[in-house]
Amino acid sequence: MQRLLMRSPVAIAAFWIGVYLFITLLPLLVLLLYAPPEGRTFWTEFSVALGFIGLAMIALQFALTARINRIEASYGIDIILQFHRYISIVAFSFILIHPLILFITRPETLELLNFPVAPWRARFAVIGTLALIVLVVTSIWRKPLRIEYESWRILHGILAVMAVGFGLAHALGVSYYLGLFWKGVLWSAIALFALWLLVYVRLVKPWFMTKKPYLVEEVIPQRGNVWTLALRPRGHEGIKFQPGQFAWITLDISPFRMREHPFSMSSSGERPERLEFTIKALGDFTKTIKEVKPGTKAYLDGPYGVFTTDRYWDSAGFVLIAGGIGITPMMSMLVTAAERKDDRSFLLIYANKKWEDVTFREELDELKEKLDLTIVHVLREPPQDWSGETGYVDRELLERYIPLHRGSRQYFICAAPVMMDKVEAALYELEVPVTNVHMEHFNLV
């Protein structure tokens, strides 16, 4: 029974991949069901296929960003959002290549770009494509363009709806392949489903969040310009989460405002009645955490993430590698293990700049009395009397501490991107199985 439970996440992940591929390739299946009109060349049909596939892929982006728990639990939001970014570029390329092929093989179609006199189906295509171009440009270069996240998110949703809506209107207007009633209904259903997902994310989910508010209980200062935000549920039992997971926080404003921020829980997964988020003052929002007053209302969307020790009940132990504020999910794993009286071994390799800035320094020392926990502090600027590790977490340092039997542990890494990349490469060189390495990025937005 336990083996079946362990295999089920893989089977579920494979299922969702199959669903994605089926919907994406559905346009090709539609093309194969009926012969194309006479006189249409291979390149014309190929162009149409790319257009349909690109449109289906853009519609599916709504599902990827809707934070659907069943899908997210198979991969983690980190991977889903990375896939969303990369596959959007692929879909964008397909949609741009679609008319380019027609312009090259059938030059007379260039007349469709004459917007004032072009038929409506061509106008729909131009508007939808322009919306998609603006969407891609503002997404890739949002920070250089200095577009605020909240404004960009609203614009992103509007442009996405325009791209799918006008794209579908163009396809229906051409009608070569969607002329049959059932085909039009099928594609209209896909578009409506995408629109529903947008409504769900923007309206339905925030409405549910208003029914389960939280209140700030206290804000606790930590070492390293870090603050722990403690929340207590108001009128409900709170959320049950697995150690290492995170939630999106909306603080002191309505959840309909869409100004939310993802943070990992640092408290015990056994105590949903008090949730703690440990946050480093780095950006405009995080610098204001220390000023939040007790009693401030907050809303949570979560928990999310697969960066958790709970998924590996049969592991002999865990190697936790953290840099700076990357200690947050690790702290949740450790305090939860302590409360559960977990007798497995834990190795924490914790990199920081200075000794006085080591977040949770005293709390970690206390956990050594409750767990089989070994802590290796690595300092870039150690004090004069320091006898511990210095510099960076590299292959040589890891080789000194990780178990000889590499595959007997699960490895969790949370740090700045540069450190994560170097540690991942070092673990690979040390023949740690890639399936045993798990990473969590700081920034999801």
| CATH label of the domain that carries residue 383 | 3.40.50.80
**Same-domain status, 261 and 385:** no
- Cα-only R_g, the chain: 26
Does residue 180 sit within a domain? Answer: yes
Domain boundary pick from 266, 283, 304:
304
In the block, tokens 């100004």 appear at 259
DSSP summary character for residue 265: B
Tokens coding 78: 């980190």
**Same-domain status, 143 and 38:** yes
Domain boundary pick from 304, 339, 372:
304
CA distance 170 to 163: 10
The single-letter code of the amino acid at 109 is T
Is it the case that residue 150 has pLDDT exceeding 90?
no
Q: What letters, b where the CB count within 10 A reaches 16 and e where it falls short, cover 312-321?
A: beeeebbbbb
Pairing of strands 409-414, 246-251: unpaired
Does residue 389 sit within a domain? Answer: yes
Mean pLDDT of 266-288: 90
Q: CA-CA distances (angstroms) from residue 360 to 39, 277, 335, 412, 430?
A: 72, 13, 11, 18, 29
The single-letter code of the amino acid at 251 is L
**Same-domain status, 299 and 314:** no
- Condensed to tens digits (0 to 9), the pLDDT of residues 157-193 reads 889 889 988 988 888 777 665 555 556 677 677 778 8
Is it the case that residue 48 has pLDDT exceeding 70?
yes
Structural domain harbouring 414: 309-440
For the chain, give the mean pLDDT: 86
Does residue 336 sit within a domain? Answer: yes
Does residue 348 sit within a domain? Answer: yes
**Same-domain status, 42 and 18:** yes
Residues 403 and 312: beta-carbon distance below 8 Å: no
- Condensed to tens digits (0 to 9), the pLDDT of residues 363-380 reads 999 999 999 999 999 999
Does residue 436 sit within a domain? Answer: yes
**Same-domain status, 165 and 32:** yes
Please, which pLDDT band fits residue 12 given cuts at 50, 70 and 90?
A: confident
- Condensed to tens digits (0 to 9), the pLDDT of residues 58-75 reads 888 888 887 777 777 777
Is it the case that residue 410 has pLDDT exceeding 70?
yes
Cβ of 213: how many Cβ atoms within 10 Å? 17
Domain boundary pick from 207, 233, 251:
207
Please, which pLDDT band fits residue 34 given cuts at 50, 70 and 90?
A: low
CA distance 92 to 112: 20
Indicate the pTM of the whole model.
0.80
Question: How many domains does the chain divide into?
Answer: 3
CA distance 391 to 119: 66
Does residue 362 sit within a domain? Answer: yes
Residues 324 and 351: beta-carbon distance below 8 Å: yes
| pLDDT for residue 38 | 64
**Same-domain status, 412 and 332:** yes
Range among 108-117, 152-161, 411-420 rated most confident: 411-420
Residues 248 and 299: beta-carbon distance below 8 Å: no
Mean pLDDT of 140-145: 88
Is it the case that residue 340 has pLDDT exceeding 70?
yes
**Same-domain status, 165 and 222:** no
Least confident interval from 5-19, 70-84, 411-425: 5-19
CA distance 121 to 430: 58
Helix (H, G, I), strand (E, B) or coil at 300: strand
Tokens coding 359: 């977040």
CATH code of residue 293: 2.40.30.10
Mean pLDDT of 394-422: 93
**Same-domain status, 247 and 196:** no
Query: pLDDT exceeding 90 applies to what percent of the chain?
Result: 51
Is it the case that residue 281 has pLDDT exceeding 90?
no
**Same-domain status, 148 and 35:** yes
Does residue 196 sit within a domain? Answer: yes
Does residue 445 sit within a domain? Answer: no
**Same-domain status, 256 and 293:** yes
DSSP summary character for residue 297: E
**Same-domain status, 398 and 331:** yes
Paired with 350 in beta bridges are 322, 377
Is it the case that residue 399 has pLDDT exceeding 90?
yes
Q: What letters, b where the CB count within 10 A reaches 16 and e where it falls short, cover 161-191?
A: bbbbbbbbbbbbebeebbeeeebbeebeebb
**Same-domain status, 331 and 273:** no
